[in-house]
Amino acid sequence: MDASLVLIQFLNGMQLGVLLFLLASGLTLTFGIMDFVNLAHGSLYMIGAFFCASLTFWTGSFVWGLLLAIPCTALVGLAVELSVIRHLYARDHLDHVLATFGLILCFDTLTQLIWGPEGISVPLPDVLDGQVTLLPGIVFPTFRLVIILGGLLVAGGLYWLVNHTKLGMLIRAGASNRTMVGALGIDIQTLFTAVFALGAVLAGLAGMLIAPITEASIGMGNEIIITAFVVIIVGGIGSMKGAFIAALLIGLIDTMGRSFLDDLFKLVMSTEAAETSAPAVSAMLIYILMAVVLAIRPQGLFPPKVR
C-alpha cells in the first residue's frame, strides 16, 4: 500500500463520514429532542436524491436542482410529521419503529410508482465533474472534495445553530427538560415539527450529494440508515458532537478497512487466507467497533449529559 492510495482512501472515508454525519445529525436531533426513533429517515435521503435528479433534468443544472430539492424535501418532511409522526411522540419506541417501518414501505413503493424501478443517474456540471491535483501525482474527483467541504460547512452551521441561536437554545432546553420548554410558553409542537423538517432536509441533502456518484435508486436509504444508526449508537444518542466524531470515524474505518484489511492480514497469515477472510471481516468491521464501544461504554462515546 502506497502513501498516495492511503491519502485518497482517507479522503473517500471522509466523504462517507460527512454523508453519515448529515444523516446521523437528523436522527440524533429527533431522538434527543423528541425521544423519537425514525427508521424512515433513510427514505428522506432517497427522496432528496430523486427530487434532485428530477429537478436537475428540469432546470438543466445540478446546482439549481439541489437548491430546489431542499425545500421540496422539507415539505415532504413536514407532511410526514403532520400526518403520522406527531401522533406517535407519546407512544413507546416499539410503535415508532413499526409505524416508520410502514412509512419506509410506502416511500419505497411510491418512489417506484413515480420514478420507475430503475435508478436515475444525475449529471454534474463540467466544473464539478473533473479532478483536482492535490499533490503532485495525486488526483481526486472535484465533486467528492466538494461533498467533504460542503458537509463540514453544514456541520459548522449546525454547531452554530445549536449553540448560538434561539432555536438552538430551545433545542438544547427541549432535550434536557421538556416541561421547562413548555412552561416557557413555547409551542412545543411547532418546535418538534421544525426540528423534524430540519432533520429531513439534512438527510435529503446527503441523498442529493451522493446522487451524482451512485445515482438515485429505490431502497438506497435502507442500507445507509443502519450505518447511520451505528454512528449515533457509537457517538451517544442525542449528542451532536458524538454524531460528528463517530460519523467520521466510521466513514474512515469502513473505507480503509475495505481497501487495506487484506494487506494487513497478509502480514500475519497466508495470502489465500487473507483474501478469503478480509472481505468478511471488513464487512463486519464497523459492527465490531460498535460492539467494542458498547461493551466498554453502553451509552456511547459522548452520552448527552442530561437524560
Q: Under the rule (CB under 8 A), what is the footprint of other proteins?
A: 31, 35, 37, 84, 87-88, 91-95, 97-99, 101-106, 108-110, 112-113, 222, 226, 229-230, 232-233, 237, 276, 279-280, 282-284, 287-288, 290-291, 294-295, 298-299, 305
The distance of closest approach from Cβ of residue 51 to other proteins in the complex, given in angstroms and rounded to an integer, is 19
Nearer to other proteins, 72 or 99 (CB): 99
The distance of closest approach from Cβ of residue 209 to other proteins in the complex, given in angstroms and rounded to an integer, is 23
Nearer to other proteins, 92 or 118 (CB): 92
Strands 131-135, 138-141: parallel, antiparallel or unpaired by DSSP?
Answer: antiparallel
Name, in order, each residue with C-beta under 8 angstroms of 86's C-beta and a sequence gap of 6 or more: 189, 192, 193
Contact 207, 49 (CB under 8 A): yes
Residue carrying C-alpha cell 444508526: 229
3-state secondary structure of 232: helix
The distance of closest approach from Cβ of residue 282 to other proteins in the complex, given in angstroms and rounded to an integer, is 8
Residue 120, beta-bridge partner list: 216
The distance of closest approach from Cβ of residue 113 to other proteins in the complex, given in angstroms and rounded to an integer, is 6
Nearer to other proteins, 144 or 172 (CB): 172
Nearer to other proteins, 2 or 223 (CB): 223
The distance of closest approach from Cβ of residue 56 to other proteins in the complex, given in angstroms and rounded to an integer, is 26
The distance of closest approach from Cβ of residue 115 to other proteins in the complex, given in angstroms and rounded to an integer, is 13
Closest Cα to residue 46, out of 106, 125, 129, 128? 106
Nearer to other proteins, 141 or 235 (CB): 235
Closest Cα to residue 201, out of 56, 62, 44, 46? 44
The distance of closest approach from Cβ of residue 15 to other proteins in the complex, given in angstroms and rounded to an integer, is 20
Name, in order, each residue with C-beta under 8 angstroms of 117's C-beta and a sequence gap of 6 or more: 218
* Residue 230 per-residue DSSP state: H
Nearer to other proteins, 36 or 143 (CB): 36
Contact 86, 17 (CB under 8 A): no
> In this structure, which amino acid lies at residue 66?
L
Name, in order, each residue with C-beta under 8 angstroms of 22's C-beta and a sequence gap of 6 or more: 151, 154, 202, 203, 205, 206, 209
Nearer to other proteins, 166 or 305 (CB): 305
Residue carrying C-alpha cell 467533504: 148
